[in-house]
Chains A and B, each alone.
Chain A
Amino acid sequence: MDRRDFIKAGAGMSALAASGLSAPALSQGVAAKTLRFVPQANLANFDPIWGTQYVVRNAAAMVWDTLYGVDDKLVPQRQMAESEEVSADGLTWTFKLRSGLKFHDGTPVLARDCVASLARWSARDPMGLMLKAIQEELVAVDDTTFRWKLKKPYPKMLLALGKNNAPCTFIMPERIAKTDPFTQISEYIGSGPMKFVRGDWVPGAKAVFERFADYVPRSEPASWLAGGKKMLVDRIEWLIMPDPATASAALQNGEVDWWENPIADLVPVLKRNRNIRVDIGDPLGNIGAFRLNHLHPPFNDVRARRALLMALNQEDFMRAIVGSDDNLWKPLPGYFTPGTPLYNEEGGEILKGPRDIEGAKKLLAESGYSGQPITMVVAQDQPITKAQGDVAADLLKKLGMNVDFVATDWGTTGQRRAVKAPPAQGGWNIFFSWHAGADCINPASYTAIRANGDGAWFGWPNIPAVEQQVTNWFDAKNIDEEKVAMRALNKAALDNVVFVPPGFFLGYTAWRSNVSGIVKGPLPFFWGVSKS
């Protein structure tokens, strides 16, 4: 018995003497029903429509339910919805809610709550915006039925309502959902399997969720956001730990049960501990992003952009991000998530085979580049962006480019990348980011692949050939048509270099061996997770 056990035993004996209860068994039960989780980042706010960070989405998935949810095959399944009907012309969708749904304040979930929630969501989400643009009406027919009438068919309706990328179609009570989508809500009432314990929330340190006793899970087995979301623990505590070494130590000595994203450096230490399990967390991984500004020279010329593809070695970038663990990265001759149904390498030859530095230099010269400074904005406080920036700076120097390396932080990068002015006037040529693989399985949620000029993501590519294929995908009637569009899209995006893809990488997750039911997925799913 160590000193802490001795003290605990002493405390337990005192409690036993004082109360007459079996204190050790009682405390053991409470511990087993509380899951302590270290999330990837701080839950600084809690409005999953206003702020679309992944960490907010992940917490929100416990508190708010969705009408549909994708399963592990990425197929949307009914969740809050009991049924849906689409008219023969594809213009009118009628949805019916399943019975017995309740919000955490005890009020029933009604169709008007769904209408208000979808209206708020559709003002922020890319697919929602598309739906809003073709919306004829979105109305509650009765308490359990609502109708969405469109001006033109939208074959991806169920995917829009069930997708897992932020913002999801979380259903809130009407009074909350009527909040302006650009203003933060202040009440966190959902109908999901867990309630948010507002009083225990210490932003930046702790967020607490308690099991919602009145939640009625579906009867099907849980699969990602679909199926029966059965909670096997009573309480989930999110403990925010900014320091990875602390999180690692806390997991090793049992102070926390599950660490969402251990850094690669610490994984060998965790793997050596027989009380800890380590596995790939999200099989859909992440796609690096070496983003170019299409508005200004030299990258307003496709030859300069293609020169980078010819010279870039993805292995250099990936090893800088994940280290020497070859399980954690894959080359990516394209833009979409490997292992998903629409993944293809059409047009990807330029990223394969030996790298051609001399050819790239020649192409760069043809583009008219003559040594002007290339402003590369690199966030140093994010290991992934820093690693990409360091490797890219070396690559550009090898190509004879004059690199103006702006080492800064993520907040500043976020501000500067929005500046459209030339680099010499506060703008930029290159910045780095990464995208969750779950967002990159198709164009619906892949903001970064869009090339619609001013409406596009930072860098503002304007490439009609890419946009045409995005439209073709949205209009596709079946998977075969989708695949055709996606192959053409990958090729058009690579030919014109929407951005430079430095590769695909994965991350680990780690948990104590007394925790079971953790599944691989694009977000941590807490239903089905138990602790002995």
Chain B
Amino acid sequence: MFVYISRRILATIPVMAVVALFVFSLLYIAPGDPAAVIAGDQASPADVEKIRQSLGLDRPFLVQFGEWVWKLVHFDLGTSIFTGLPVTALIAQRIEPTLSLMIVTLILAVSIAVPLGVMAAWQVGTWIDRAIMAFAVFGFSVPVFVVGYLLAYFFALELEWLPVQGYTPIAQGLWPWFENLILPSIALGCVYIALIARITRATMLEVLQQDYVRTARAKGVSQGGILFVHALKNAAVPIVTVIGIGIALLIGGAVVTESVFAIPGLGRLTVDAILRRDYPVIQGLVLLFSFVYVLVNLAIDLVYTLVDPRIRY
């Protein structure tokens, strides 16, 4: 197992290198000028050009790429063109809100979606099943920002129960931290609740047809025991897979959620960096996201061995 994990982690390096080269090339080819944004609209063309030169943006592609790779092998993600701050510092500032949002969303989604999926499978064909699946369709269909605005309107503006926007670091208290995450987590979680609930239902329905479930029933095992001990464990592999994919997708969903709720996370950092053509920040973030994606896949593989002992590496 140790060899397997080491091999998988080492395999991330060429993957990230290819991704980085692709992103670097794409940004270089794409139009857009950070110097023009920095200089402001009143600046003369000569000023814009001088800023471009001072940032090294007038140098050939290979020189810029070589310098970036050289820094990277020294574990240096570079410096933001706009802020002059190290990219690692910018990412460090923003990682806690995004991680918090993802973790709370995931806990919320799994704790609601799995029981809903099991319930729908158990009550298949009834109004309960139809209601749960209708909710799932709603969750899929309504964009995150619409749910976000509706939640903010009712729970923050009308009822004044929760804040509209912002993020409080966990170091400043568990409740203030959680209070700011409730609405964004629900908004972001809707689609994942729907996704996980549908997969859970489908997988459970399949498992509930298996012989060993019939045997368990014949032996007099309770309904709860059948559903949560015998069936759910055997349905876990696809559910774990979809949860894992969901984690990666959460990064994309966080971009919109963080904007709607003014959360200073990696999603907003990414959008800001792209709009301003802050190349070192974009490259650093892409590398980070690639790494997270690879790690999540690795974690899913490892969880498979826990839920299904037949799977071995």
* A residues with CB within 8 A of B: 2-4, 7, 42, 44-45, 50-54, 56, 124, 126, 165-166, 180, 182-184, 186, 202-206, 239-243, 245-247, 249-250, 252-253, 255, 381, 408-412, 414-418, 433, 435, 439, 445, 447-448, 455, 457-458
- In the complex, chain B residues whose CB is within 8 Å of the CB of A252: 157
* CB-based contact B275/A246 at 8 Å: no
For A457, the closest partner residue in chain B by CB is B44
What CA separation (Å) do A524 and B32 show in the bound complex? 30
Using known A-B contacts A241-B262, A255-B165, determine if residue A249 contacts B157 with beta carbons closer than 8 Å: yes
* CB-based contact A186/B260 at 8 Å: no
* CB-based contact B45/A458 at 8 Å: yes
For B152, the closest partner residue in chain A by CB is A249
Using known A-B contacts A182-B54, A242-B259, determine if residue A455 contacts B44 with beta carbons closer than 8 Å: yes
* Residue contacts A-B, CB under 8 angstroms, 28 given: A7-B175, A45-B82, A45-B84, A51-B40, A165-B42, A182-B51, A182-B53, A183-B54, A184-B84, A239-B166, A240-B262, A242-B262, A246-B260, A249-B152, A249-B164, A253-B157, A253-B164, A255-B163, A408-B31, A409-B32, A409-B275, A411-B32, A411-B36, A414-B48, A417-B36, A418-B45, A435-B42, A455-B46
What CA separation (Å) do A348 and B84 show in the bound complex? 46
How would residues 265 to 283 of chain B score, 1 for a CB under 8 Å from any chain A CB and 0 otherwise?
Answer: 0001101100111000000
What CA separation (Å) do A448 and B40 show in the bound complex? 13
Kindly state whether residue B83 has any CB partner on chain A within 8 Å: yes
What CA separation (Å) do A206 and B97 show in the bound complex? 14
* CB-based contact B260/A202 at 8 Å: no
**Least Cβ–Cβ distance between B103 and chain A, in angstroms:** 20
Which residues 119-167 of B sit at the A interface, judged by CB distance below 8 A?
149, 152-153, 156-157, 159-166
* CB-based contact B34/A255 at 8 Å: no
- Partner of B84 from A3, A186, A415 at Cβ < 8 Å: A186
- In the complex, chain B residues whose CB is within 8 Å of the CB of A182: 47, 50-51, 53-54
Kindly state whether residue B9 has any CB partner on chain A within 8 Å: no
Kindly state whether residue B311 has any CB partner on chain A within 8 Å: no
* CB-based contact A241/B277 at 8 Å: no
- In the complex, chain A residues whose CB is within 8 Å of the CB of B259: 242-243, 246
* CB-based contact A166/B82 at 8 Å: no
Kindly state whether residue B38 has any CB partner on chain A within 8 Å: yes
Kindly state whether residue B238 has any CB partner on chain A within 8 Å: no
* CB-based contact A4/B43 at 8 Å: no
What CA separation (Å) do A109 and B31 show in the bound complex? 44
**Least Cβ–Cβ distance between B274 and chain A, in angstroms:** 9
* B residues with CB within 8 A of A: 31-51, 53-54, 80, 82-85, 90, 93-94, 149, 152-153, 156-157, 159-166, 175, 259-262, 264, 268-269, 271-272, 275-277
For B79, the closest partner residue in chain A by CB is A184
What CA separation (Å) do A243 and B117 show in the bound complex? 35
* CB-based contact A411/B157 at 8 Å: no
Q: Would you list the 8 A-B pairs with minimal beta carbon distance, nearest first?
A: A414-B36, A205-B264, A415-B33, A52-B40, A411-B32, A412-B31, A182-B54, A44-B82
**Least Cβ–Cβ distance between A300 and chain B, in angstroms:** 18
- In the complex, chain A residues whose CB is within 8 Å of the CB of B31: 408, 411-412, 415-416
For B93, the closest partner residue in chain A by CB is A202
* CB-based contact A250/B262 at 8 Å: yes
Using known A-B contacts A203-B82, A249-B156, A253-B157, determine if residue A445 contacts B36 with beta carbons closer than 8 Å: no
* CB-based contact B82/A447 at 8 Å: no
Using known A-B contacts A180-B54, A412-B32, determine if residue A242 contacts B45 with beta carbons closer than 8 Å: no
- In the complex, chain A residues whose CB is within 8 Å of the CB of B269: 204
- Partner of B268 from A56, A242, A417, A445 at Cβ < 8 Å: A242
What CA separation (Å) do A50 and B272 show in the bound complex? 20
**Least Cβ–Cβ distance between B13 and chain A, in angstroms:** 30
What CA separation (Å) do A4 and B182 show in the bound complex? 14
* Secondary structure of the B contact surface, majority rule: helix
What CA separation (Å) do A51 and B38 show in the bound complex? 5
- In the complex, chain B residues whose CB is within 8 Å of the CB of A240: 262
* CB-based contact B32/A415 at 8 Å: yes
**Least Cβ–Cβ distance between B4 and chain A, in angstroms:** 39
**Least Cβ–Cβ distance between A459 and chain B, in angstroms:** 10
**Least Cβ–Cβ distance between B111 and chain A, in angstroms:** 22
**Least Cβ–Cβ distance between A35 and chain B, in angstroms:** 16
- In the complex, chain B residues whose CB is within 8 Å of the CB of A44: 82-83, 272, 276
For B30, the closest partner residue in chain A by CB is A412
- Partner of B161 from A4, A186, A455, A458 at Cβ < 8 Å: A4
Using known A-B contacts A246-B260, A409-B275, determine if residue A447 contacts B162 with beta carbons closer than 8 Å: no
For A55, the closest partner residue in chain B by CB is B40
* CB-based contact A255/B268 at 8 Å: no
- Partner of B262 from A246, A447, A455 at Cβ < 8 Å: A246
- In the complex, chain A residues whose CB is within 8 Å of the CB of B84: 45, 184, 186
- In the complex, chain B residues whose CB is within 8 Å of the CB of A433: 41
- In the complex, chain A residues whose CB is within 8 Å of the CB of B40: 51-54, 56, 166
What CA separation (Å) do A187 and B85 show in the bound complex? 12
What CA separation (Å) do A179 and B140 show in the bound complex? 53
What CA separation (Å) do A166 and B156 show in the bound complex? 38
For A36, the closest partner residue in chain B by CB is B166
For A57, the closest partner residue in chain B by CB is B40
Using known A-B contacts A2-B159, A45-B38, A435-B41, determine if residue A246 contacts B83 with beta carbons closer than 8 Å: no
- In the complex, chain A residues whose CB is within 8 Å of the CB of B53: 182
* CB-based contact B156/A410 at 8 Å: no
What CA separation (Å) do A268 and B162 show in the bound complex? 24
What CA separation (Å) do A396 and B177 show in the bound complex? 54
- In the complex, chain A residues whose CB is within 8 Å of the CB of B50: 182
Using known A-B contacts A246-B262, A415-B33, A439-B42, determine if residue A42 contacts B164 with beta carbons closer than 8 Å: no
- In the complex, chain B residues whose CB is within 8 Å of the CB of A3: 159-161
* CB-based contact B165/A51 at 8 Å: no
* CB-based contact B90/A203 at 8 Å: yes
* CB-based contact A250/B165 at 8 Å: yes
**Least Cβ–Cβ distance between B259 and chain A, in angstroms:** 5
What CA separation (Å) do A239 and B166 show in the bound complex? 9
Using known A-B contacts A249-B153, A416-B31, determine if residue A4 contacts B54 with beta carbons closer than 8 Å: no
Using known A-B contacts A124-B47, A166-B40, A439-B42, determine if residue A203 contacts B83 with beta carbons closer than 8 Å: yes
- Partner of A445 from B42, B54, B164 at Cβ < 8 Å: B42
What CA separation (Å) do A166 and B271 show in the bound complex? 26
What CA separation (Å) do A206 and B45 show in the bound complex? 31
What CA separation (Å) do A416 and B32 show in the bound complex? 8
**13 extra interface residue pairs, beta carbon distance < 8 Å, beyond A166-B40, A414-B32, A457-B45:** A44-B82, A45-B82, A51-B38, A52-B40, A52-B43, A182-B51, A204-B264, A205-B94, A239-B165, A245-B149, A250-B165, A411-B275, A415-B31
**Least Cβ–Cβ distance between A362 and chain B, in angstroms:** 34
For A7, the closest partner residue in chain B by CB is B175
- In the complex, chain B residues whose CB is within 8 Å of the CB of A445: 42
- In the complex, chain B residues whose CB is within 8 Å of the CB of A408: 31
What CA separation (Å) do A217 and B92 show in the bound complex? 39
**Least Cβ–Cβ distance between B148 and chain A, in angstroms:** 9
* CB-based contact B161/A246 at 8 Å: no
- Partner of A52 from B42, B157, B165 at Cβ < 8 Å: B42
- In the complex, chain B residues whose CB is within 8 Å of the CB of A458: 45
What CA separation (Å) do A42 and B35 show in the bound complex? 16
What CA separation (Å) do A56 and B84 show in the bound complex? 15
- In the complex, chain B residues whose CB is within 8 Å of the CB of A186: 84
- In the complex, chain B residues whose CB is within 8 Å of the CB of A7: 175
What CA separation (Å) do A296 and B48 show in the bound complex? 22
- Partner of A253 from B80, B93, B156 at Cβ < 8 Å: B156
- Partner of B85 from A53, A203, A409 at Cβ < 8 Å: A203
**Least Cβ–Cβ distance between A98 and chain B, in angstroms:** 30
For A450, the closest partner residue in chain B by CB is B44
